[in-house]
Structure 1
Amino acid sequence: MPLQGKLDALRTEFETNVAPPAVVELLHRATAELISTGAVDKALKAGDIAPEFTLSDAHGKQVASRSLLARGPLVVTFYRGVWCPYCNFDLQALEAARTEIEARGATLVAISPQTNANSRKSQRENKLGFPILSDEAGKVGARFGVRWTVPDYLHDVHRQLGADLTGFNGDESWTLPMPARYVIDRDGTIAYAEINPDYTRRPEPSEVFPVLEALALRQGRP
């Protein structure tokens, strides 16, 4: 089943059989409000220059985007956290596509505001072969233009659902990244960008394949 099909089934189950109607209403309200702000229009797009970053992986090792780009293009996915089942399906789909991504000369990383310990849990539970980098308070997400602040009325909803962000992220900011996927060329230019304020919508990982193939042809690689 395609990734979006799995997400649609998850949403139907959650909204029909798991969450109370009042909670579903507040989640829909927050998504609608985020869409109405035009936040997506402020995020970095294809043709922009991606900001450089150095972040720690789940084991505390520093990972620099400059070093990764020296090896080839970079596929970056912004990940809300281990508490988000939609995000975990997304990571699993990316892991299933990782061999194809790497065969096209690219490196795959996820960036999340969660703590290293929670990233280790994410990698273990989703059986990932690519790193999750810790973005404290979403500072790198802000530089990409994908960070947003969770409204006050959702704080108790998150806690009710077992997703108190102060614990998962280790700070009091109550910020998250919008689901976003980028392909960054070796010179730092963004070649592909997909950002969606609706956390239940994600692009298929295969969408990056032709982008990576075009970058390889441009570099004279087969």
Structure 2
Amino acid sequence: MTLQDELNAYKAKPAHPNMRPEFGAIFGRTISGLIASGQAERALKAGDLAPPFELPDEDGTLVSSTALLERGPLVLSFYRGVWCPFCNIEMKALQAALGEIEARGATLVAISQQTLANNRKSRRDNDLHFPVLSDKGGDVGAAFGIRWVIPDEMREVHRQLGGPMPAFNGEESWTLPMPARYVVGQDGVIAYAEINPDYTKRPEPSDLFPVLDHLRERAAT
């Protein structure tokens, strides 16, 4: 089963017990509005220079993108948080692909705006063996062009469903990153970018492999 098949299967499951009929329309308007905004098209793409960052991992240890790139290409997965089942399904799929990613000389890290404690929960609940970095306030997401502001009507849905962003993220901005996956070459240039305003759609982890193979072949010449 592909990652998208798993996401579609989850989407077809019975709704959250607190889901109200009008919430579906709000979800739809939020996704449609984000797509219509064109923000995904304005985000950093392949060929752009990736902004360097230094972020704490789930234990508070600072992780530098510059240091990671000295070892090989960097795979970045921006995700919304442990409260998002679609994100957790994707994290598990990336974990399943971790061996293939590392065999190609790359390092995988996930980036979320949530607190360190919630990033530890992400690692524990999804049995992840790659770092989960905390981008509190979303400054790194903003540098990549993928941070967006949750509209007021969607904020109320989050409250009703038990997931208010200030509680998960430890700050009051009510912002999130669009789900996004990047490959950054050792020269700091983005070699692959996939940004999804619709959080129910994610690229397959295997899409990374040809990109990483190309980077490895280029480095060997």
Gaps of 5+ in 1: none
1:177 equivalenced with 2:210 (yes/no) = no
TM-score normalised per structure 2: 0.97
CA offsets 1:186-216 (integer angstroms, 9 cap, x no match): 0100000000100000000000000000000
The answer for the alignment partner of 1:86 in structure 2 is 86
On the 8 A contact 1:15/1:21 being kept in 2, the answer is no
Find the aligned partners of 2:216 and 2:32 in 1 and give their Cα distance: 38
CA offsets 1:88-146 (integer angstroms, 9 cap, x no match): 00000000000000000000000000000000000000000001100011110000000
Aligned length: 221
CA-based RMSD of the aligned residues comes to 1.3
Aligned-pair identity (%): 58
1:130 equivalenced with 2:134 (yes/no) = no
The answer for the alignment partner of 2:50 in structure 1 is 50
Find the aligned partners of 1:14 and 1:199 in 2 and give their Cα distance: 18
On the 8 A contact 1:15/1:24 being kept in 2, the answer is no
Find the aligned partners of 2:165 and 2:152 in 1 and give their Cα distance: 12
TM-score normalised per structure 1: 0.97
SS in 2 for 1:166: helix
The answer for the alignment partner of 2:107 in structure 1 is 107
| Equivalent AA in structure 1 for residue 159 of structure 2 | R
| Equivalent AA in structure 2 for residue 67 of structure 1 | A
| Equivalent AA in structure 1 for residue 212 of structure 2 | L
Gaps of 5+ in 2: none
1:21 Cα deviation after fit: 2.1
